[in-house]
Structure 1
Amino acid sequence: MKALVLDEVGQPLQLRDVPTPQPQPGQVLVRLAAAALNHRDVWIQQGQYAGLRFPIILGSDGAGTVVELGEGIDESLRDQAVIIDPSQNWGDNPRAQARSFSILGLPHDGTFAEYVAVPATNVYPQPAHLSAEQAAALPLGGVTAYRALFTRGRLRAGERVLITGIGGGVALLALQLAVARGAEVWVTSGSPDKIERAQALGARGGISYRQPGWGKALVQQAGGPFDLLVDSAAGPGVAELLEAAAPGGRLVFYGGTTGTMTNVPPRHIFWKQLDVLGSTMGTAEDFAGLLDLVNGARLVPVTDQVFDLADGEQAMRRMAEGQQFGKLVLRII
């Protein structure tokens, strides 16, 4: 099969012929129609990820058709159009993943290929209203956003929620999911254009995180503080999040792209009685809940650009530059 292979840190992805995987007991073989990029793929390429091994086929998101079945798999799955849950071996504790937890695309070969073998428990019917490219844009970002908002963040209809760094895949999916559940959504970005585009998707408004004192300014703009704040940057911006949080509010962090939390005034945390929560990926129940919401609201993930598989390295460079609005997708067949 054709696959994009990463041979070592700092090297471009190479399109080459590699052996087609064979499904083991409990697995299915999916012929992929589309895959999507995540920042995780760029971080692995840059060597900024634990458990590196080479060569590796990156890619956590994918949609396609089940073409072969491993031992013990019901024949009814054959020829089904599916999307893939990239969370593997979560474990028995729904509150946190087990030490054996992994994400498709490292340490196991991922979806930047014509075929991928995955556990049968990790494939779900592709939403009928989505194309393969749209469906491929959903899994990793969608389950991360769903768990952050609803499982960890306990978001309820009518609450005011702030989603930072709008434009990335997780943040945009969080915006769409929160709007679908009846929340009042506000956003931050360094780009006025991205804020405007977020408003077209249902956000009430937003503010630039480059503006000094943006936390208080956004509270004034929104007409009040925020019940839930969902963030992937951390770093010095946490002080502004604490300013913007309502008493009894919840802060959910699913990443830390700007580094260590600095200048964080603890008085806001204890005096406002805030909940500070972490969230990573999601359980099978989170993924099923995501699909229920997507199907019920007929949500369509935002895609920035679709590339052919052979142009995957070009897509990686666009991801690294951070200019995209929505998901970058690879068309495979």
Structure 2
Amino acid sequence: MNAIVLRSLGGPDVLALERVADPHPEAGEAVVRLHAAALNHRDVWIRKGQYAGITLPVIPGSDGAGEVVETGPGVDPAWRGRAVVIDPSVNWGDNERAQGPSFNILGLPRDGTYAELVKVAADHLYEKPRHLSWEEAAAVPLASVTAYRALVTRAQATAGETVVVTGIGGGVATCVLLLGVHLGVRVYVTSGSDAKLDAARSHGAAGGVNHHDPEWPKAIAALIGDRPDVVIDGAAGETFNRALDLVKPGGRVVSYGATTGPTKNLEARRIFWKQLNVLGSTMGSPRDFAAMLEIYAGGLRPIVDQVLPLDQAAAAHRRMEEGAQFGKIVLRIWD
């Protein structure tokens, strides 16, 4: 099969298309012929060596959609020929509150979806929502399950509440926007790009402010006419401190990432005096994934920024590093 194989760490050009051996399923596994895969920031960080314990070579990629072509012992052969999306959370465990010690994510250490074929545990297969294209279906898994867990499972946001999503444009943030609007939440956003703020409004955001304005928390509170019930943040850094200041007393702040680095000078008083709930969130359990996918099956579509062929994975990574995207960047593998 053709696959993008990461054999060394570095810039986008280390992503090379190669011919490699086809995978074959073992007990409890299935092989999926992928029609499309989607990028996540995780892929960039792996390529740059920003995770501990990276073992090479590896085929990157956590998101994929395709057709089951082979099943291993113990797997219902009726899966063969079905159109599926793949849950990228591996070995979540039995605790809904947090992932277990053997948890990992498809694409490292296990070979991922930047390939024509991928081998996965059969219980990670879910039927593709029929209304979604292959590219749209591939754009759903990682970002949407992360967004669902942050917004619904952790923040427990409900219809009529106000949620601020920082850094709109990336996959998780845009999925929080879509899911929030679908669930009746009033969603406000921040971005360093006015064009992205306009795009967010076109997808249902109630408003947004440019975070290059040093007074952006005051500006967004003025837009809302109050403080938000929830802030969902994937930036960390100083943005997290500003989120603690912005949210209303008794509110919730959910952290699902740290794209701008660690938060310094965190003052406990910000948290205890305002009676805040500060919640960590990452990926999602199988229950989260199934509930999220049910929402998409009802007609929701993810936002796809750009579709490129598999052999242009390096160009796709460059676009992600530029931060120009609004929504998911997708690799087309099979038409």
**How much does 1:180 deviate?**
0.2
**1:33 match:** 35
Query: Structure 1 residue 176 and structure 2 residue 206: aligned?
Result: no
**1:206 match:** 208
User: After the TM superposition, which residues 79-94 of structure 1 pair with which residues of structure 2 at under 5 Å, given as runs?
Assistant: 79-94=81-96
174-183 vs 259-268, which deviates more?
259-268
Contact 1:216-1:243 at 8 Å conserved across structures: no
Query: Structure 1 residue 328 and structure 2 residue 300: aligned?
Result: no
The Cα offsets for residues 111-133 of structure 1, whole Å up to 9 and x where unpaired, read as: 00000010000010000110000
Which amino acid in structure 2 is aligned with residue 240 of structure 1?
A: R
Q: 1:132 aligns with which of 131, 134, 150?
A: 134
Distance 2:157 2:279 in 1: 13
**1:292 match:** 294
**How much does 1:322 deviate?**
1.2
Distance 1:100 1:280 in 2: 15
**1:10 match:** 10
User: After the TM superposition, which residues 243-322 of structure 1 pair with which residues of structure 2 at under 5 Å, given as runs?
Assistant: 243-296=245-298, 298-322=299-323
SS of aligned partner of 1:248: coil
The Cα offsets for residues 187-224 of structure 1, whole Å up to 9 and x where unpaired, read as: 00000110010000000111111111211221112111
Distance 1:55 1:64 in 2: 24
Structure 2 unmatched ranges of 5 or more? none
The Cα offsets for residues 8-63 of structure 1, whole Å up to 9 and x where unpaired, read as: 11152110100000011000000000000000000011110123011110000000
Which amino acid in structure 2 is aligned with residue 178 of structure 1?
A: G
**2:238 match:** 236
**How many aligned residue pairs are there?**
332
SS of aligned partner of 1:310: helix
Distance 1:167 1:121 in 2: 31
Distance 1:41 1:50 in 2: 14
Structure 1 unmatched ranges of 5 or more? none
Distance 2:145 2:284 in 1: 6
Query: Structure 1 residue 160 and structure 2 residue 155: aligned?
Result: no
**How much does 1:265 deviate?**
3.7
138-147 vs 251-260, which deviates more?
251-260
**How much does 1:246 deviate?**
1.0
Contact 1:35-1:133 at 8 Å conserved across structures: yes
The Cα offsets for residues 91-118 of structure 1, whole Å up to 9 and x where unpaired, read as: 1111111110010000000000000010
SS of aligned partner of 2:163: strand
SS of aligned partner of 2:199: helix
138-147 vs 47-56, which deviates more?
47-56
Distance 1:10 1:224 in 2: 45
Distance 1:236 1:325 in 2: 23
277-286 vs 234-243, which deviates more?
234-243
Which amino acid in structure 2 is aligned with residue 4 of structure 1?
A: I
Distance 2:51 2:155 in 1: 26
SS of aligned partner of 1:247: coil
SS of aligned partner of 1:246: coil
SS of aligned partner of 1:317: helix
User: After the TM superposition, which residues 110-149 of structure 1 pair with which residues of structure 2 at under 5 Å, given as runs?
Assistant: 110-149=112-151
**2:63 match:** 61
Cα RMSD (Å) of the superposition? 0.9
108-117 vs 205-214, which deviates more?
205-214
- What TM-score does the superposition give when structure 2 sets the normalisation length? 0.97
SS of aligned partner of 2:98: coil
**How much does 1:171 deviate?**
0.4
User: After the TM superposition, which residues 185-204 of structure 1 pair with which residues of structure 2 at under 5 Å, given as runs?
Assistant: 185-204=187-206
